[in-house]
Amino acid sequence: MKGLFMIEFLRNALSRVDADYADIRHEKMFETAIAFDGKDLSQASTSSTDGYVVRVLKNGGFASGVFTRAEDAQKVLGMVMENAKLTGRNLSEPIRLAPIAATKAIFKPELHEDPRKVSFAEKLELTRQANLIPFSHPAVATTRTAYNEIIREKCFVSNEGSEIQEELVTVSLGGRITARDGNLVQEIVVVSGGGNGFQSVRNQEQNFADRTRIAVDLLKAEPVSGGVYNCILNPGMAAVFTHEAFGHSSEADCIESHPAMREKMQIGAKLGSDKLSITDDATIPGLVGFYRFDDEGVRVRRTELLKNGVLVGRLHSRRTAAEFGEPLSGHSIAEDYRYPPIIRMGTIFIEPGRFVIKIRDCMTLKLVFRPGSAFD
């Protein structure tokens, strides 16, 4: 089933459910994977999988279920309904969902060259040529180069009237370059790609050459002694640090059961420098984290998290938005059809500020370095 036929099937399945709230999501995923380990081709595959996720809220209890055969819909919905009732009887506080307006939408991203129109042979050759670039330097010992392509076709229906079809396309080309000088080994990651089509992985020769040069140059770099340093991070490294050190604490479900963290992460708390502002914006087209609607049917919005060092926002699902009494953000995303959605970052980054006049495109960070750890 495709498109409107799938929406009609999902709508009919929910029509028999007597619940306070219910939704059902179908997702079909097409994946292409090509990989080289060293000079050997280690993977060349295409696959497609699909399945359904249902969620039911009944008498304050919330439950979910997964199935892969359309004919199992009513059986699984019945089981999930009973699980929700049972859960509700064992909760001290009923689960509530933040209200949203019903939405009907069809969304497809704008692509610069649809990867579905590029032959598998061309994708394989592109990956092979990228993998050969590092081997032009004798100090390169091995590589791991991979092309990955994921196309997700999602249909979502709720008993509140939302009916959403969304297609997401992501491609990537990258991997690891390992340089060796005797017992000294240095490894560098190379990445390219995004959510805007196959063009994002074309013409990456210079990228692979530049990353190879860094891996080789690091063999001659002076070792860093353990200690505390003021460091300069490029935008990519700053984003990774922000994701790990701050981003997960901005996911409401990560802190809701931890009183100490909830106390520390109160809206209005001063957490950083006046110069530091952090935003999550999954609405930026072309990036891997881009999407229009989350897997609860909520339209994602640009969400300011930290502004001038002060906590001003948080990432939410409908459940946690009701729990915290805060605005919805549209960040409840499922890994794939096998899972119900959880709160996940979209595209998190540090906002540019006036301090970049002195240190262009960088931020400073006091970092503790331990011997044996790695820098890129």
Q: Is 248 within the bounds of a domain?
A: yes
- How does pLDDT run across 221-256, given as a tens digit for each residue? 988 888 888 888 888 888 898 999 999 999 999 999
Q: Is 274 within the bounds of a domain?
A: yes
Structure tokens at 3: 């498109």
Report pLDDT for 268.
97
Is pLDDT of 263 > 50?
yes
Report pLDDT for 372.
44
Report pLDDT for 366.
52
- In the chain, what percentage of residues exceed pLDDT 70? 93
- How does pLDDT run across 171-198, given as a tens digit for each residue? 999 999 999 999 999 999 999 999 999 9
Q: Is 78 within the bounds of a domain?
A: no
Q: What are phi and psi of 158, to 5 degrees?
A: -125, 160
Task: Supply the range of the domain harboring residue 275.
Answer: 226-371
Q: Is 292 within the bounds of a domain?
A: yes
Is pLDDT of 284 > 50?
yes
* Max CA pair span of the chain: 69
Q: Which residue is it, tokens 């020769």?
A: 205
d(C-alpha 125, C-alpha 106), whole Å: 35
Number of domains in the chain: 1
- How does pLDDT run across 34-71, given as a tens digit for each residue? 999 999 999 999 999 999 999 999 999 999 999 999 99
224 half-sphere exposure, CB direction, 13 A CA radius: 16
Mean residue pLDDT of the chain comes to 92
Across the range 292-321, mean pLDDT stands at: 97
Contact between 300 and 346 (Cβ < 8 Å): yes
Q: Is 288 within the bounds of a domain?
A: yes
Q: Is 236 within the bounds of a domain?
A: yes
Q: Which residues face 137 on adjacent strands?
A: none
Q: Is 62 within the bounds of a domain?
A: no
- The string of DSSP letters for 38-82 reads TTEEEEEEEEEEEEEEEEEEETTEEEEEEES-GGGHHHHHHHHHH
Report pLDDT for 375.
42
Report pLDDT for 354.
66
H/E run at residue 214: helix 205-218
- pTM of the predicted structure, to 2 decimals: 0.89
Structure tokens at 229: 């340093």
SS3 content of the chain, % helix, strand, coil (to 5): 30, 35, 35
Q: Which residue is it, tokens 């460091």?
A: 231
Q: Is 195 within the bounds of a domain?
A: no
Q: What are phi and psi of 97, to 5 degrees?
A: -120, 135
Q: What are phi and psi of 193, to 5 degrees?
A: 125, -170
Count the residues in the chain: 376
- pLDDT category at 23 given cuts 50, 70, 90 is very high
Closest CA relative to residue 15, chosen from 154, 153, 161, 155: 161
